[in-house]
Amino acid sequence: MFRGFYTVASGMLAQQRRTEMLTNNMANANTPGFKADQSSLRAFPEMLLSRMDKQSIPTEKGSNLPINQLVGPINTGVYMQEAIPKFIQGDIYATDQNTDVALIDVNIPANNENGLKGSVFFTVQNPNGDLRYTRNGDFTLDGQGFLTTASGLYVLDDGGNPIQLSSDQFQVNETGLITGANGETARIGIGFADNPQRLIKEGDGLYRTEDGAALQNAYNANGVQFQMQQGYIERSNVDASRTMTDMLTAYRAFEANQKVLQAYDRSMDKAANEIGRIG
C-alpha cells in the first residue's frame, strides 16, 4: 500500500515539473532566439517481487520445505530526468531596426555521436568577462557606442573583442562583416557547437560551455555554413498550439495520479478506522 503512495507521488512530481517547463516555454513564445525545452521522462528501476511460502513434504514426520513463489515485476515510479533545449531554427521576421541581426542556419553538419545537428551562436561577454552564447540578435548600442545585447552584454567580434561603433548607422553583410558610418569594420563573432545539448542553459536566452571554454570559431569550422541578415530577428521556436496541448496532457496525467492517491488515502482510512476497529 505504501509503495503505491510513493509511485503515485513520483508521477505527480514528474508532471508538475513538466508543466512548469511547458509554462516557461509558453511564456517565452515571443522571446527572440528562445529555444523551447523538451522533457525527458524516465522510470525508476523495476523490482521483481516474490512471495515466501512453504510446501509440505509427505514424509513420516511431515516436513515443510520453504520456497519462493514468483509474483511478478512492480514499477517504482517515474521522474523527469532533464529538460533539453530544442535547437531548431526559429522563423525569421523583419523588424526594420538597424541594430537587429538574425543568424540563419544554411548548412550545419550533424554530430557523429547522436546524429543531431550542431548549432551556431552569437558570442557575447558578461560583466565578469565570461563568454556566453545566444541566438537573440536583438542588439543595441550603449552610451560608449559598444554593440550590446538587450540585457547589456557586449557582442564580441571574431577576435574576442567588444565591437565599438560611431553610430547605429552601420551595415552588416551576410558574412557578418560590420561597416560603420566612419568606415570602421569588424566581424561579428560566431561560435559553433557540434553538440549543443552539452551547453548549459542560463536565463535571458544565454548558454555557456561546461568548462567555461570558448566554442569553436564557426568561420573556421569545417562544413559549417550560415549567414546574417540585418534588420531581422529570429523568433522563438516554441510551437504555441503544441505546447498548449502538451500542457493539458500533463495536467490530465497529474489529475489522474491525484485520483489514485485519493483512492489510496480512502483505503488507508478504512484500514485504520474500520477494519482495525475492536468491537
Asked if 145 and 250 sit in the same domain, the reply is: no
In this predicted structure, what is the pLDDT of residue 267?
82
Asked if 214 and 101 sit in the same domain, the reply is: yes
C-alpha cell at 205: 536566452
Q: Tell me whether residue 205 is in a domain.
A: yes
Q: Tell me whether residue 107 is in a domain.
A: yes
Asked if 226 and 111 sit in the same domain, the reply is: yes
CA separation for the pair 136, 149 (Å, rounded): 8
Asked if 117 and 162 sit in the same domain, the reply is: yes
Asked if 211 and 145 sit in the same domain, the reply is: yes
Residue 191's CB is within 10 A of a number of other CB atoms, namely 26
Asked if 70 and 125 sit in the same domain, the reply is: no
Asked if 177 and 201 sit in the same domain, the reply is: yes
CA separation for the pair 113, 131 (Å, rounded): 26
Measuring CA to CA, how many Å separate 212 from each of 84, 127, 198, 276? 19, 15, 12, 61
Residue 69's contacts (CB-CB under 8 Å, 6 or more residues apart) are 50, 51, 52, 53
In this predicted structure, what is the pLDDT of residue 63?
66
Asked if 164 and 255 sit in the same domain, the reply is: no
Asked if 111 and 228 sit in the same domain, the reply is: yes
Asked if 52 and 152 sit in the same domain, the reply is: no
In this predicted structure, what is the pLDDT of residue 83?
84
Q: Tell me whether residue 239 is in a domain.
A: no
Classified as helix, coil or strand, 207 is strand
Helix (H) or strand (E) holding 242: helix 240-270
Asked if 44 and 130 sit in the same domain, the reply is: no
Torsion of CA 240, 242, 246, 249, to 10 degrees: 120
pLDDT averaged per 10 residues, the chain (length 279): 76 90 93 91 72 64 67 73 88 94 93 86 94 96 94 94 93 95 93 92 90 92 94 94 93 90 82 65
CA separation for the pair 124, 206 (Å, rounded): 9
Number of domains in the chain: 2
Asked if 169 and 226 sit in the same domain, the reply is: yes
Q: Tell me whether residue 140 is in a domain.
A: yes
- Range of the structural domain that residue 128 is part of: 92-234
Classified as helix, coil or strand, 213 is coil
Q: Tell me whether residue 178 is in a domain.
A: yes
Altogether, the residues listed in the chain come to a count of: 279
